[in-house]
Amino acid sequence: MFWRLRKAWPDVKIILRGDGGFSLPEIMNLCEQKDVKYVFGFTSNAVLKRKINYLLDLARLQYFRTQEKSRLFDDVYYAAKSWKKPRRIVMKAEWLEKGGNPRFLVTNLETDSQELYDNFYVQRGATSEHRIKELKLGISADRLSCHKFIVNQFRLFLCQAAYILMLELRASAQGTRLATAQVSRLRETIIKIAAKVSVSVRRTLVELAAHCPFRDDILLMVQRLSSGQQFTFS
């Protein structure tokens, strides 16, 4: 991959960004040999926990003083046993109501620690990771337990179709309390609710309970969808 990019654009600076699954010695060695910059998530271990302890203590004190989330950054040079040389580790010490939340990156960039974390690394997922989470938790798209590949493929197609439907529902909820709802919440508030359904030759009547908390929101969504209005997914 690197040499193809180099051949096409010899003067372009290449930066590889990924989660902890990419922080393998083989990948980092190759990046350094080919003059490719990288920023990868890195798994915590006993050594790094000791190195970040002081920063976590400061973040904890700051949290209890302000009662607001505290985030502090620093970096150290660290060499795992499988590495030939030390590498820069960016440390994020975060303290929340539920306690400490330390995170680590390994990189060969010299960018400021917080800027590297906030303005570059966390953008790797942007919206894609949220969409994957919704597919797995909201639609159960990872339930592919059939023995045949083609059957699992068809199940995944059905999950994708269901997800597109949920996106359409959410888009139609613009300006309501459900405008930014996760797929699981949409299922619970729109699909998995009690209603009386009456079917006749001329129409299908769906009657919601008088005290349905999302009655007005659902009514507005139905009006928008039945009008054929086009929506933008978010």
pLDDT in tens, 66-98: 999 999 999 999 999 889 899 999 999 999 988
Percent of the chain topping pLDDT 90: 51
Cα gap 131→142, rounded to integer Å = 13
Buried b (16+ CB within 10 A) or exposed e, 128-164: eeebeebbeebbebeeeeeeeeeeeeebbeebeebbe
Q: Does the CA dihedral 20-21-26-31 come out positive or negative? A: negative
Single-letter code of the amino acid located at 103: R
Per-residue pLDDT averaged across 192-218, rounded?
Answer: 87
Higher pLDDT, 15 or 6: 15
What's the pTM?
A: 0.62
Distance of CA 28 to the CA centre of its chain: 24
Higher pLDDT, 87 or 182: 87
Single-letter code of the amino acid located at 212: C
**Predicted pLDDT at 232:** 66
Cα gap 221→181, rounded to integer Å = 14
**Which residues are within 8 A (CB) of 234 and not within 5 positions of it... i.e. 6 or more apart?**
170, 171, 180
Which tens digits make up the pLDDT trace of 144-166? 888 899 999 999 999 999 999 99
Three-class secondary structure of residue 109 per DSSP:
coil
Higher pLDDT, 91 or 190: 91
Place of tokens 């109501």: 97
**Predicted pLDDT at 75:** 96
Cα gap 152→158, rounded to integer Å = 10
Tell me the pLDDT band of 234, cut-offs 50, 70 and 90. low
Cα gap 216→206, rounded to integer Å = 14
Cα gap 106→116, rounded to integer Å = 11
Cα gap 199→220, rounded to integer Å = 22
**Predicted pLDDT at 231:** 66
What's the mean per-residue pLDDT of the chain?
89
**Predicted pLDDT at 230:** 67
Tell me the pLDDT band of 4, cut-offs 50, 70 and 90. confident
Per this entry, what is the length of the chain? 234
Cα gap 18→42, rounded to integer Å = 10
Percent of the chain topping pLDDT 70: 96
209 φ/ψ angles, rounded to the nearest 5 degrees: -65, 150
Which tens digits make up the pLDDT trace of 38-53? 999 999 999 999 999 9
**Predicted pLDDT at 82:** 87
**Predicted pLDDT at 199:** 94
Tell me the pLDDT band of 3, cut-offs 50, 70 and 90. confident
In the chain, alpha helices (H): 2-8, 25-33, 46-66, 113-119, 128-133, 149-172, 183-186, 215-226
**Predicted pLDDT at 115:** 96
* Closest by CA position to 108, among listed 30, 12, 45, 55: 30
